[in-house]
Structure 1
Amino acid sequence: MLETDNLLGQFIRVHRQQLTPPEQTHGRRRTPGYRREELAQAAGLSTTWLTRLEQGRSLSASVTVLARLSQALQLNPAERATLFELAGKFDPYSNTPALAQKRLIKPLQDLPDQFHGPCYLLDSSWNALCWNHQAAQLFIGWLDIPNHDRNLLRYTFLNQQARQLIPNWAERAQRLVAEFRLDYTHQSEDPQIIELIDELTAQSTEFAALWQNQQVRYRDGGSRYFAHPQWGECQFQQVTLQVSAIPELKLVCLLEKAIKDE
């Protein structure tokens, strides 16, 4: 039967047992891999504490301890992320998203052009990394101006053109902040995120009030309405896709819908 009450301890124990034993060992080894005391020594921890952690009697591992454990266990990036996830901790030392983003961004840049409707790719701070021609035509004052700020939240709260483009601006702004707070919980120590929130709070009383409300929502799509100066009233169905290797990246696709006569 699959044990689910001590996933963190099981994870550590199995990876400890998969390590190649140290060259200088004494006595007959009854189990494969590292002994607990050997892993504890390699990670700079006490054997008693590590034993309690493996047995599920302690879940108070700090991010510093988890980082040392990850290094001692020789975990790959995905395994390290799993270790922190099972411990319920954010990994502030990980550069995996940045490295993965750098590796994947080139093929991802071609994705928006594969869609007929407006489509754009957001990073962890909600900056548009790339977008197609339809998105540039739709989002006046954001994606249509060369060398312009590409942050979606700045555009929504600090650009008057956004308020003119989005007829249900107040409702949309409230939803955006609630969706962004969900992302914030996973990267609350990111300096860029903190700086962005401080800037918006200082420059927009509306953002400050919405941020203070602590509302949280999944980015689950839905209808999007626009009052475009050239296209007139238009409606889209939003679909947001996440990149599995980098969940911080979001591909936002707007599928055009016909507005029914009332």
Structure 2
Amino acid sequence: MAKQPQSNDSSAEASSPTSLDASPARALGEFIRAHRERLTPQAVGLPPGPRRRTPGLRREEVAQLCGVSPTWYTWIEQGRPVSASAEALARIAVALQLSRAERAYLFELAAQRDPAEPDQAAADAPAALIETVQLIDAPAYVLDRQWTALAWNAPAADLFVGWLDDARGGHPRDRNLLRFTFTSPAARTLIVDWETRARRLAAEFRADSIRHLNDAPTRTLIDALSAESEAFAHFWASQDVGEREGGTREFDHPRHGRVVYDQITLKPAHREDLKLVVLVRRG
């Protein structure tokens, strides 16, 4: 029978630094332990009690604040490969009084999605971000989680014929980048080396959407594109994953001819579900 871990903190363990090759579970445990040791009982409304052998709160106290068993919490700190739900991590973040950045780092270490992230159904962008897009001289636009454009400027509308330009006949145009790329004939004419770029786009979206792949809007988009576009269905089934990269983007524009840009993608602070994309003209 496996020996249960002791809930007492050892000074040797508390002083061990995180190694660069630490496993994700160990890195998570050491991060949590470090922040536990920074908190005093008074900071969380607990009596100071007798003299303490270790700095900060005891593991049992944090476990009590989180509503979890001391054994489970001890195993998390020790870097054991135990399951930690997003809800349990959220309670730990609150108990340890983590800042916004620290909380985000906690969830990244645990490879979990923070339940307090902005609602995926929200289709708005901060007003300052929209104003920023309009101040940029180069083509610029903002994408949401499903890569639908929420805002764009005049140079972007001029460049992306069939996607961000004004729709004809008074009908609103679908502003989703994936739908445009895979279902619009204009995209195959506009985008140089369409097949390579389309394959890359599908791989980038797979990587970008992994944390909300089962959200209804994302799932609906993937299912619809798989049904409407044989190319998307093929690229998506390949399971290719790629990090969203910048670099060269070439277009055969109906008015401007062959144009070449360098693409830069930025994530606004506190709204990492959005992307600001800027294309800088070469030459």
TM-score scaled by structure 2? 0.79
Cα offset, 1:96, TM superposition? 4.3
Task: Pick which of 149-158 and 47-56 moved more.
Answer: 47-56
Q: Distance in 1 between matches of 2:146 and 2:123?
A: 13
1:198 corresponds to 2:223:
yes
1:153 corresponds to 2:178:
yes
Matches within 5 A, 1:97-246: 105-145=126-166, 147-246=172-271
Give 1:43's match in structure 2, choosing from 55, 66, 74: 66
Distance 1:116 1:48, change over 3 A: same
Is the 8 Å Cα contact of residues 36 and 56 (structure 2) preserved in structure 1? yes
1:75 corresponds to 2:98:
yes
Cα offset, 1:20, TM superposition? 3.9
In structure 1, what is the equivalent of residue 50 of structure 2? 28
Cα offset, 1:158, TM superposition? 1.5
Cα offset, 1:49, TM superposition? 1.7
How many residues align? The count is 256
Cα offset, 1:60, TM superposition? 2.6
Tell me which amino acid in the other structure corresponds to 1:3: T
Q: Distance in 1 between matches of 2:29 and 2:80?
A: 9
Q: Distance in 1 between matches of 2:136 and 2:49?
A: 64
In structure 2, what is the equivalent of residue 54 of structure 1? 77
Cα offset, 1:246, TM superposition? 3.0
Cα offset, 1:94, TM superposition? 2.1
Is the 8 Å Cα contact of residues 41 and 47 (structure 2) preserved in structure 1? no
1:94 corresponds to 2:116:
yes
Task: Report SS of the residue matched to 1:233.
Answer: strand
Q: Distance in 2 between matches of 1:206 and 1:29?
A: 67
Tell me which amino acid in the other structure corresponds to 1:11: F
Q: Distance in 1 between matches of 2:48 and 2:159?
A: 70
Distance 1:232 1:58, change over 3 A: closer
Unaligned runs of 5+ in 2: 1-15
Give 1:11's match in structure 2, choosing from 11, 23, 31: 31
Distance 1:167 1:16, change over 3 A: closer
Distance 1:27 1:238, change over 3 A: closer
1:104-134 deviation line (CA, Å, top 9, x unaligned): 7211112233333212121221111211111
Distance 1:33 1:97, change over 3 A: farther
Is the 8 Å Cα contact of residues 97 and 246 (structure 1) preserved in structure 2? no
Is the 8 Å Cα contact of residues 140 and 161 (structure 1) preserved in structure 2? yes
1:207-236 deviation line (CA, Å, top 9, x unaligned): 011001111222222222222222222222
Task: Report SS of the residue matched to 1:247.
Answer: coil
TM-score scaled by structure 1? 0.85
Is the 8 Å Cα contact of residues 224 and 235 (structure 1) preserved in structure 2? yes
Task: Report SS of the residue matched to 1:216.
Answer: coil
Cα offset, 1:59, TM superposition? 4.1
Task: Report SS of the residue matched to 1:116.
Answer: coil
Is the 8 Å Cα contact of residues 41 and 48 (structure 2) preserved in structure 1? no
Distance 1:72 1:101, change over 3 A: farther
Q: Distance in 1 between matches of 2:255 and 2:79?
A: 62
Is the 8 Å Cα contact of residues 77 and 96 (structure 1) preserved in structure 2? no
Unaligned runs of 5+ in 1: none
Cα offset, 1:174, TM superposition? 0.8
